[in-house]
């Protein structure tokens, strides 16, 4: 039985509620740089967050003043709490 060739995933694409697809070849990072700070922008791009999700994360961050509030609001959009807290800490580094 012939073995199927495995295609390597370059990165997943996602919105706030999860994976929506995959990229199989390297692409240029197109998100506007320093929207949320270099570390947060790089993390969100590497994890495939689409621009609409990045914009919503930015709006939630601007509306909230604390990590817990930020994480709670993002979790209502489908982001795991631990990931939301990590994103908040990356934004805080900017």
Question: Confidence band (pLDDT; 50, 70, 90) for 31?
Answer: low
Cβ pair 36, 54 in contact under 8 A: yes
CB under 8 Å to 21, separation ≥6 — which residues?
Answer: 12, 13
Say how far apart CA 90 and CA 52 lie, in whole Å: 19
pLDDT one-digit tens code per residue, 55-94: 999 999 999 989 999 999 999 999 999 999 999 999 999 8
- What pTM, to 2 d.p., does this model score? 0.84
Where are the extended beta strands (E) located within the chain? 11-15, 18-23
65-18-46-54 Cα dihedral, nearest 10 degrees: -40
């Amino acid at each position: 039985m012939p073995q199927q060739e495995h295609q390597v995933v370059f990165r997943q694409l996602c919105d706030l509620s999860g994976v929506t697809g995959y990229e199989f070849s390297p692409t240029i990072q197109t998100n506007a740089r320093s929207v949320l700070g270099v570390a947060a922008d790089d993390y969100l791009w590497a994890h495939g967050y689409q621009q609409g999700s990045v914009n919503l994360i930015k709006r939630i961050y601007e509306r909230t003043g604390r990590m817990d509030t930020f994480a709670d609001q993002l979790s209502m959009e489908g982001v795991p709490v631990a990931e939301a807290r990590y994103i908040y800490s990356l934004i805080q580094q900017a």
